[in-house]
Each structure stands twice: as C-alpha cells, then as structure tokens.
Structure 1
Amino acid sequence: MYRGGVKDLRGWGGKTARFNYNRSRQLLSEVVHSFLSLHGPDELVEGFAEPFFTDFIIVVSDLDETWGDSTLVMGAILKDCLNVRNGVVALGGRFANRFKIPQELPQVGELFGFTEKQVQHLLYCSRMVAKTDSVALQDGYDLYFHMMVLSHSGMWSVIQQSLNPYSQSVRRYHWFSGYVRSFVEEPHTGIISAEKRPRVLDMTAEASRNSRRASLEVLSQSVSKLQRLYAFGRLANQTTLSDEGKQVADFLRPSEKINWSILHELENNAPKDYEQLLAVKKVGRGIIRLLAFSVYIQYGIMPSLTDPAVEPLEAVKKYSEDHFLWRLQQVVDALKASKLSPEFKRHGLRRLGEVFGSRDVEAVSG
C-alpha cells in the first residue's frame, strides 16, 4: 500500500528548470491524454478529487523529484495541455491566476454549450470553495493555488493549496462536485498535510453544526450585544470560564479588526443559513471567528478545534484498498498505452513502485 506522501519543494530554479519542465510536461501530457482515451473526461475530473490519484500523476510525471512545487507545476502543465477538444479543461492556477476563473469560465462555458445559469453556478462553486477553505476553515494556512478541472458535462473538481507563513509547510485541499452536498459541512474529499496543527477553527466539521446554527442566532441579535460579548471575552480577570474555557476563548477571540458596519448590514438583512452568511462578500475570517467566539461565550457551544488535515498515508484509509488499486491500475494502464518511449514507461513504473509500493504496482501492471 501507499508508502508515503509526495514531496512539495520550494522554487523551481537553476539551469535545468526548463529541461525539467519540458520533460515533466511530455510525461504528464502523454499520460493524461492516454487516460482520457481509455476512461474519458469525467473519470479524469473525479480522479483529481482524490489525493492519491493526484499523487500518482505527480509521481509518474517526475514532478516529485524536481526542485519545484509539484502541485503548482502540475496545474500549469494541465492548463497548457488540456483544451475543450479534450472534453476537459483546467482553470485558474497559482497566485494571481487563481483569480482569473471569472474571466475563463464564461469562455469555456460557451464552447462547452453551457447555459448562463450553469456558468453562474460554476462560478459560485469556485468562489465558495475558495471562501470555505480560507474563511470557514481557519487553519493558519494562506491559499495561493486554486485550480478547477472541468469536464464538458459540467462535472468539476477543485484542488487548492495553501502555505503556512511560519513553518513554510503546505497543504492541499480536494473537492468534487459529485461529493459536495454542502459547502459548509464536511465538503472535502481530502485535506493533505505533512503537518498537523494542535488547534484550528473548523466551522465545516459536523461537530461544528450547533455552533453554525447558534452563529445565525447570535447574528440576529443586536450588534451592540455582539460588541458587549466581544468586550466581555477580552477581560483577563473574568471568572465565568474555567481555565480550559479561557484557553478556548483566547483561541477563538478574533485577532483581526472587526468590521462592525458589515454586521449592522447583516442585522437588517439576515442570511437564511450559514452558507448564505459565508457567501456574503465582505464576511471574512474576523466575522466568522467573532460569531464562533460569541456563541461560545454566550451559550458554551464550542466549534470543532480539530485539524481535519491528514497525512497522505492516512488519506488512503478513507477509501478501500480495492479503490486505491483500481485508481493505480488506471494510471498504470494509461502509462502503458501512452505514446511515451519504452524507457519513459519503465521509468514511470519504477517511480510508482518506489513511492507507492512495488508489490502493488507489479500486481496491477501485469
């Protein structure tokens, strides 16, 4: 089974950068186009929603051995080598490119024959995925990569990546349209990180359901009451909380400046549910945290403080071994059926065996 995670290294530089990119582009492009011929666009979209499938593609393309961020480079290559003629495209990307989906999606939607309503729904999905992982889930990481893989049928997956500015570690978030039932409760197909945080604010956890409901109740009260709760929680000598309660309150207390004017607007135009609250453009980390903090101070209802991220090895446990091997079989078959040279094919099989276990690779490769 899965031996370990794929390396994400900083900065793709040096004299060999262009050579490495061109080599990986050839490998990835041939394997992905071979996969499309064998399994079709929707299967590729669903595959990228699974962390280990993404790692299979990264490894078989030699991206885990380069001095570069494997996810970012993979995204750039996918965006470069996929187009509407393939029935699947990659949108967005790293840094400023992640904000280009509102311009890219309508163009792709027109070529795919989507209605305006479908395009607007896809734009909403992209926006809510980004908002959820940066505002509803506050894990100390800042998003810098957002890629939507979209098929002609409207099926999508999103891969996001974020960076912890202090430890310089990264984590990867996976979403799939066929899995999401709610943007605010257990929406991910996987969150992968080499580093687990001792405490995060996860308003997307099932365990945060009561906190989400109570947040709307608190929001319906006067803003002046929220201000009093906020001020009360800041009192160092207040005695209504236990020592543990004070630690939780200290953690939940917003460190950012609160935009009270937004709360006044919401007081007069209350959202119907938590997703609608999160969708409000000016609702950011500070307000979400303030509401969770106020709920805890007023009602004693605690949101989930457990980090939902798992190490790559743990991610596989979410799926059966048969599913893991089936996905591995798909990638191996795509590699073997590709137009790559025998040397590249042998190298790809060897790399998969080194990272994911030679016994499993041999079992599915014949």
Structure 2
Amino acid sequence: MKRSFADLPLHGGKAPKWLFDRMVKLAREISLSIIYIFGEEEFLNRISDPFWFQAFGCVLGFDWHSSGVTTTVTGALKEGLKYEEKNIGIFFAGGKGKRAINTPNDIESWIENGIIDFNLGENLKRYSRLTAKVDTVGLQDGFSIYHHFFIYSKNGIWAVIEQGMNEKMKL
C-alpha cells in the first residue's frame, strides 16, 4: 500500500469561475490522455502522489501553493470526467464537506445502476469508510478531515485523496 502526504498552507477564498471552468476542460483532456495511453492503474498511481497532484494542479492553472489545490483539482476532475466515467472505467465519489460524507451513496448509485458489481461496490464502501476512520481517529495529529475523495476503477483499484485542516497551525 502506498501512502503519501504533503503539508500545504491554509488559505481562504476560492478559484475564480473562469479559472475553474478552464481547469475542468484541461483536467478532462489530460486525464483521458493518461488513461488511454498508460491505463487506469497508472492514472490512479499518479493522482495519488501528492507531489504529482500538486504539479497537476499547477499545470491546470491553479498555481497557488495552498490547501485549495486539493479541493479545486478534485472538483475539476469530478466535473470534467462526469460523463466519461462509464467509458473509462474510473469513478469518483465524495469531495469537500457534505460531499465527503456522501461517498458511500455515490458508490451505491453505481451499484444500483449496474455499472459496478455489488460485491466490489460493498468492498469499495468499506475501504472508503476505513481510510476515513483511520485518518480521523487513528491519526492523532490535530487535523480534522473535511475532504474525502475516493477514486476507483471497475477493476477494484482505488485511491483516496483526503485533506485535513488544522486552523491553529494554519495548515
């Protein structure tokens, strides 16, 4: 199991709409290229590397060295690839705040629509819950999770991009 992390400073605000719209389009094209050329497993390997992820955010135009890159890039990925998921075999669940809590429901919808197998879906929901639980309860690092983004393939390969916040440390 690969585990990685990066500390990013906490900044307020959000990406301008014009920038986010461009990020969505570029995230879609770059992601599709990686998936078609190198495969879904390589895409998941890359996206789960925090330094590659930060660089990806910069390429998309979000060049702030801040915690906002996590939520903005995952949002751009989810929005940019939402109509491609069945075709590419990679699915997205969760996100920031209340979306993080709905991760199991996102996975359940793919089971109900017959896109992924019931047993696989149940396992993915379990993995999602366990990773969030370990990061919330197992790690006593003073960070509260507010972003849980679960990426998985129809073949059962998965990655989690989580972000915690520590307001006292401004991280």
Q: For the superposition of Structure 1 and Structure 2, which TM-score range results when normalised by the shorter chain?
A: 0.7 to 0.9
Q: How does 1:173-188 map to 2 (within 5 A)?
A: none
Task: Report the count of equivalent residues.
Answer: 162
Conserved? CA contact 1:88–1:152, under 8 Å: yes
Q: Does residue 112 of structure 1 match 2:122? A: no
TM-aligned CA distance change 1:6 to 1:55, over 3 Å: farther
Aligned residue in 1 for 2:35: 36
Q: How does 1:46-85 map to 2 (within 5 A)?
A: 46-65=45-64, 69-82=68-81, 83-85=85-87
Does the residue aligned with 2:170 lie in a helix, a strand or coil? coil
Aligned residue in 2 for 1:149: 151
- The one-letter code of the counterpart of 1:164 is N
Q: In 2, Cα distance between the equivalents of 1:85 and 1:38?
A: 14
Q: In 2, Cα distance between the equivalents of 1:117 and 1:20?
A: 39
Conserved? CA contact 1:134–1:143, under 8 Å: yes
Q: In 2, Cα distance between the equivalents of 1:7 and 1:64?
A: 13
Which is bigger in relative contact order (C-alpha 8 A, separation at least 6)?
2
Identity %: 24
Aligned residue in 2 for 1:287: none
Of 132, 152, 156, which residue of structure 2 is paired with 1:130? 132
- The one-letter code of the counterpart of 2:91 is V
Cα offset, 1:126, TM superposition? 0.3
| Runs ≥4 residues deviating over 4 A | 4-8
* Structure 1 unmatched ranges of 5 or more: 170-366
Q: In 1, Cα distance between the equivalents of 2:146 and 2:27?
A: 22
Does the residue aligned with 2:63 lie in a helix, a strand or coil? helix
Q: In 2, Cα distance between the equivalents of 1:7 and 1:45?
A: 25
Aligned residue in 2 for 1:258: none
Cα offset, 1:53, TM superposition? 2.0
TM-aligned CA distance change 1:164 to 1:125, over 3 Å: same
Q: Does residue 21 of structure 1 match 2:17? A: no
Q: In 1, Cα distance between the equivalents of 2:67 and 2:142?
A: 23
- The one-letter code of the counterpart of 2:106 is E
Aligned residue in 2 for 1:158: 160
Aligned residue in 2 for 1:93: 95
TM-score (norm 1): 0.41
Conserved? CA contact 2:8–2:65, under 8 Å: no
Give the number of the structure whose alpha-carbon radius of gyration is greater: 1
Q: In 2, Cα distance between the equivalents of 1:123 and 1:139?
A: 25
* Structure 2 unmatched ranges of 5 or more: 1-5
